[in-house]
């Protein structure tokens, strides 16, 4: 929808009705000048695809996803890839029971220092390749709840994570 709007610096989506949307893939892909994005009013109950949703939003400093309902999402590939200005990302409310694809989900988020994934259910995930690749400032990750029994691809999952 807004993919490759590289000069877009602000966006008011307060009146957007997203109740029936099932695909938000690449919605803000390469919005590289966007510094903040308030999408707290988004209804995401029916969304199945969030792949590359914020990918390459390299100037995005803050992203509040507190109201996101991810119960039905199956694809989170590249969701935050190259969000190089994000220092924090709260995903406490994310429900990942149905997610199958998480490759490159946080890759190249080079300023992230902390990421709490304790609530992630990875029972159905098949692809985690390069999931944290290039997260060079990430100091700690807790994988106590990660179940990787069904994962087929983990190549490069922690490549260039020099602070872990």
Token pair for residue 133?
A: 């690749």
Tens digit of each residue's pLDDT (9 = 90 or more) over 94-152: 999 999 999 999 999 999 998 989 889 999 999 999 999 999 999 988 888 889 999 99
Domains of the chain in start order, with CATH, are: 1-10+20-164 (3.80.10.10)
Query: What gap in Å lies between CA 116 and CA 142, rounded to an integer?
Result: 7
Q: What is the maximum alpha-carbon separation in the chain?
A: 43
Q: How far is CA 123 from CA 23, 70, 76, 80, 113, in A?
A: 22, 15, 14, 21, 26
């Amino acid at each position: 929808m807004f993919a490759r709007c590289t000069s877009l610096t602000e966006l008011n989506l307060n009146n957007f009705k997203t109740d029936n949307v099932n695909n938000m893939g690449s919605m803000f892909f390469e919005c590289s000048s966007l510094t903040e994005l308030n999408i707290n009013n988004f209804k995401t109950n029916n969304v199945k695809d969030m792949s590359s949703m914020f990918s390459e939003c390299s100037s995005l400093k803050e992203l509040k996803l507190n109201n996101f309902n991810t119960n039905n999402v199956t694809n989170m590939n590249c969701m935050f890839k190259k969000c190089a200005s994000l220092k924090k990302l709260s995903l406490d409310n994310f429900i990942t029971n149905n997610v199958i694809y998480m490759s490159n989900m946080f890759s190249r988020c080079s300023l992230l220092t902390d990421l709490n994934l304790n609530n992630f259910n990875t029972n159905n995930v098949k692809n985690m390749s390069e999931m944290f690749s290039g997260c060079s400032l990430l100091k700690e990750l807790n994988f106590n709840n990660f179940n990787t029994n069904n994962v087929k691809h983990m190549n490069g999952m922690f490549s260039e994570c020099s602070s872990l």
